Amino acid sequence: MSELEVVIEYKSTPQRVGLFVMGALMPFWAIVVPFCLGFFISLLMRQAASVPPLMALLVLSVLMVIPVVSIMIAAVCEDDRLLVSKEGFAFPLLFLPMLKFRRERMWSDLKEARLLISDSQMQSKEKLPHGKLDLHFNSGGHVDIPLKSLKRSDLERLLLSLEVWGTSCNRTPELIAFHDQLQNENLGIEKLSYTQMWEEELSRRFSATAFVPLEPDRKLQGGRVKIVKQLAFGGLSAIYLAQLNEKDMVVVKEAVIPEGTDDKAREKAMELFAREAQFLIRLDHDQIAKVFDHFHEEGRHYLLLEYVRGQDLRQLVKQNGPQPTAHVVKWAHEIAGILNYLHEQAPPIIHRDLTPENIVLNENGSVKLIDFGAANEFVGTATGTLVGKQAYMAPEQLRGKASTLSDIYSLGGTLHYLLTAKDPEPLSESSPRELRPDVPDELDKMVLKLTSMEDSERPKSAGEVADEFAELRIKIGARSENGNGSEGTAS
């Protein structure tokens, strides 16, 4: 998450009706009743003996209770903010009865998050379907949040908060699938693309074949790995969310060699798979998703990867708009450091697919690289095939001649997107300042240099890029402290 506190607007029908009614009745309970109360008190002071005590007490009670109750009802109806932070929730006053009058709850207290919605509604693509988000707590109490009471963007932020911070709660498969559907619609795709898969490479080497992905609850390695759900599949590979040893969530990447492949080609493919897996397993960097293991089973090859919770940078920009320049420079420094680590391997690892969706933002504000579908020196280099998304690909990569400098070009395109919320133009130099005038001149020139059409005009190494962004971080930080820096804000 990019923020440590998320404010979600909650407007239910009872709240709207209650607020309208209390507003319409305001002249009565805010003016007429207090006037009558004052008049009655003055009457009692003048003619106390002529008014029966019981009647006086009853009238006074009614005249005092009406404004107090009206103010309370108005306050409940007006409280339309659900606060979600790293620590937990603060619910609107309307939820107090369901929460046993404890409106603040910690994440550790959240037991289960369920989606109460029918299958037909789940498949509907018309706005938000009718349904409820049901949260249950260990200490008792629960809340039902109608989906229609939330804006779509706020619902996405709430579901993302559950994923990032609610690590101890059980999110039902229906809820996870619904969250995936919302993310997919944002990206304009039909199926979730958690990471760039291998099928492009395999389909170029082998003939097409019927590929049946694994079903949920399927177990691998004698039950050690249990498939939870399919994230994506196509061609000759698939990606799954799985459970390891009935405890930890992991990502499983599956690749298949087609039936009928000759023995020599099959042997070569298996050699490439094994070499790639061994190469990736040995990587050890805090900001790179860990590859845990690889194995073969029933003619299929599997990689076991770390499941990284968090919001990828494309989701972040879609929800919050162009990012503050200080944040972008910080992330650029970190990403350049990650690339430098990969490029310094022997032989160098070229990622080939550095894009906003392949970088996740942790809750501590740092970034993590999650995609390794194309990150090795074997696939692509040997075949000259294309890997990566066109808008972020360097000219030489489009010609099938990717190098470490191609990743530097992709970094420049990614920074352009973070600063402008617009994908860069393919095969062009990027200048974010053209779309966003408050981008500092030094940062704009840096992005231009990273996206130079000729690789000889780009920085010579990711280490050099990291050093330049380290200096730029200091400059922008100093300007911010002096109050005269050019600093955009996320909208």
CA 122, CA 346: separation in Å to the nearest integer? 48
CA 122, CA 116: separation in Å to the nearest integer? 10
CA 114, CA 179: separation in Å to the nearest integer? 12
Those residues with Cβ within 8 angstroms of residue 340's Cβ, 6 or more apart along the chain or in another chain: 461, 462, 463, 465, 466
Asked if 91 and 103 touch (Cβ cutoff 8 Å), the reply is: yes
What is the identity of the amino acid at 295?
F
The token pair that represents 122 in the structure block: 């789940």
423-482 pLDDT, tens digit per residue, is: 999 889 999 999 999 999 999 999 999 999 999 999 999 999 999 999 999 988 777 666
What CATH number has the domain spanning 311-482?
A: 1.10.510.10
The answer on pLDDT for 122 being more than 50 is no
Asked if 386 and 393 touch (Cβ cutoff 8 Å), the reply is: yes
Reported pTM? 0.56
Stretch among 159-173, 186-200, 440-454 having the lowest mean pLDDT: 186-200
CATH superfamily of 199-306: Phosphorylase Kinase; domain 1 (3.30.200.20)
Per DSSP (E only), the strands in 216-352 are 219-220, 225-234, 237-244, 248-256, 291-297, 300-306, 311-312
Looking at residues 128-135, what average pLDDT do you find? 82
107: number of Cβ within 10 Å: 19
Q: In this structure, what DSSP letter does residue 72 have? A: H
CA 203, CA 225: separation in Å to the nearest integer? 27
CA 269, CA 236: separation in Å to the nearest integer? 13
Element holding 158 (H helix, E strand): helix 152-165
- Check residue 480 and give its pLDDT: 66
292-345 pLDDT, tens digit per residue, is: 888 888 878 888 888 887 788 998 998 899 999 999 999 999 999 999 999 998
Nearest to 224 by CA among 111, 304, 313: 304
The token pair that represents 484 in the structure block: 């005269």
The answer on pLDDT for 490 being more than 60 is no
Element holding 113 (H helix, E strand): strand 110-116
292: number of Cβ within 10 Å: 15
The token pair that represents 141 in the structure block: 């109490």
Looking at residues 106-128, what average pLDDT do you find? 71
341-359 pLDDT, tens digit per residue, is: 999 988 888 888 899 988 9
Q: How far apart are the first and last CA of the chain?
A: 15
> Chain-wide mean pLDDT for the chain?
81
